[in-house]
Amino acid sequence: MPVELSVAPNRSLEFWFPDGDVILSCPQPDGRPFIYRVHKFILSQHSKPFAEMLTKESLASRQTLEGLPVLPLPEPATEIYKLLCCLYNALNGAAFHDLERPITRYDWLLRICIQYKIEPLRESIISQLKTEWPITLAGWDAREAHIAVLRRQHAAAGGRVHDMWLDDRLPEPVLTIHTSRSIGLHSIGPAAWYDLTRRDPRADWNALHTILTRVLPENERLLAQGVRSARWGALSAQDLLALASLKETLSMLVRDMWDSKRMPQMPHPACEARRNEILDCAKEVAIATRDPLHAAQAARQYTTKAAMCKPCEAELVESFLTFRVCCWQTLVKKFLNIN
């Protein structure tokens, strides 16, 4: 015979339906349970594992509360709350995805979707991950243009927008790399690895974003400047080797391809001198920003305004375009199948 719960758990105000026929019990940080009174058909409709756990036979031996069966779940109460927000809003992505924050922050929800086989929501999360970490160079350029807009917003606002730093609103690459491996979504890996090469190793996500460290004056200064951090401590030794290899590959591409462009003589000495100046400047930008794709794009745009004849200008513009395509193809080929 089912045993009535002897403790009085904290209850949800939002997900406590008078006609609910099952109670979900989830742990809180202090160890006390937190409960939701919901509907079995909502859970069972979207999840086969839930359907199996909520059969009459499975619930027969469960403890009860106010005459209802209590189903204990291992996930924290805050995570189950977000899941219920999705399930009770027809799996609407907006129910869990704060438009001001990257979907990467919700990797735990993706794990729940995989565990409980909630396919529509899993597909929605993966679709947004692919948007945040595109597989094409055009997608990457669109992403970078969007980030440039956000950066200008934060600069104009003195650092914070909607009470968030720029680093809060952009996806973090190490977590993405781990997520891509755990679910076999390798297409988001190359962009995440490239983004990681641009991050300052001194800017550690955990050191900047805990409750206590965020308010330290030095950290607030860095965050206000738009620093982009990463979870460096979560990288394995193999990951660090892969990162070093990628940085070396990118450096060699810059050196070999751009130095080779200095060799052929141009028909006009003034154009040749201008070309060499632009190549030197582009290399400096690539080193300073750790971002050869950005450096090549900036140099390509600058070339169209340089004092060069049209044929020489077109040749140099094409060389930067070729470099960017080659760079992206090398990146994808190197890391597309990383596990």
DSSP letters spanning 201-260: TT-BHHHHHSTTTTTSHHHHHHHHTT---B-GGG--HHHHHHHHHHHHHHHHHHHHHHHH
Domain count, the chain: 2
User: Residue 85's closest CA among 36, 44, 128?
Assistant: 36
Residue 51 lies in a domain: yes
Decide which of 60, 95, 126 is a domain's last residue.
Answer: 126
Residue 104 lies in a domain: yes
Decide which of 126, 149, 177 is a domain's last residue.
Answer: 126
Q: What's the pLDDT band for 243 if we cut at 50, 70, 90?
A: very high
Q: Please measure the distance between the N-terminal and C-terminal CA atoms of the chain and give it in whole angstroms.
A: 49
CB atoms within 10 A of CB 312: 19
- 273: tokens are 């001198």
Q: Within its chain, how far is the Cα of 222 from the centroid?
A: 20
Residue 1: pLDDT above 50? no
Residue 86 lies in a domain: yes
Residue-number span of the structural domain to which 17 is assigned: 10-126
- 297: tokens are 């794009």
pLDDT of residue 101: 62
Residue 226 lies in a domain: no
Helical pair 173-183 and 189-198, crossing angle rounded to 10 deg: 160
Residue 137 lies in a domain: no
CB atoms within 10 A of CB 6: 7
Pair 11, 35: CB distance under 8 Å: yes
pLDDT of residue 42: 92
Residue 276 lies in a domain: yes
User: Residue 232's closest CA among 177, 160, 174, 295?
Assistant: 174
| Mean of the per-residue pLDDT values of the chain | 87
CA distance 12 to 6: 18
Q: Are strands 10-16 and 33-38 parallel, antiparallel or unpaired?
A: parallel
21-25, 204-208, 308-312: least confidently modelled range? 308-312
Residue 7: pLDDT above 80? no
What is the domain-level CATH number for residue 117? 3.30.710.10
pLDDT of residue 339: 46
pLDDT digits (tens, 9 = 90+) for 162-184: 888 999 889 999 999 998 888 88
Residue 296 lies in a domain: yes
pLDDT digits (tens, 9 = 90+) for 11-54: 998 899 999 999 999 998 888 899 999 999 999 988 999 999 99
54-58, 127-131, 306-310: least confidently modelled range? 306-310
Beta bridge mates, 65: 68
Distances (CA, A) of 136 to 6, 133, 193, 203, 239: 57, 9, 14, 27, 23
On whether the pTM is more than 0.95, the answer is: no
Residue 170 lies in a domain: no
Radius of gyration of the chain (CA): 26
105-114, 119-128, 194-203: least confidently modelled range? 105-114
Decide which of 126, 148, 182 is a domain's last residue.
Answer: 126
- Mean pLDDT calculated for residue range 251-276: 81
CA distance 208 to 224: 12
Residue 6: pLDDT above 70? no
Residue 296: pLDDT above 90? yes
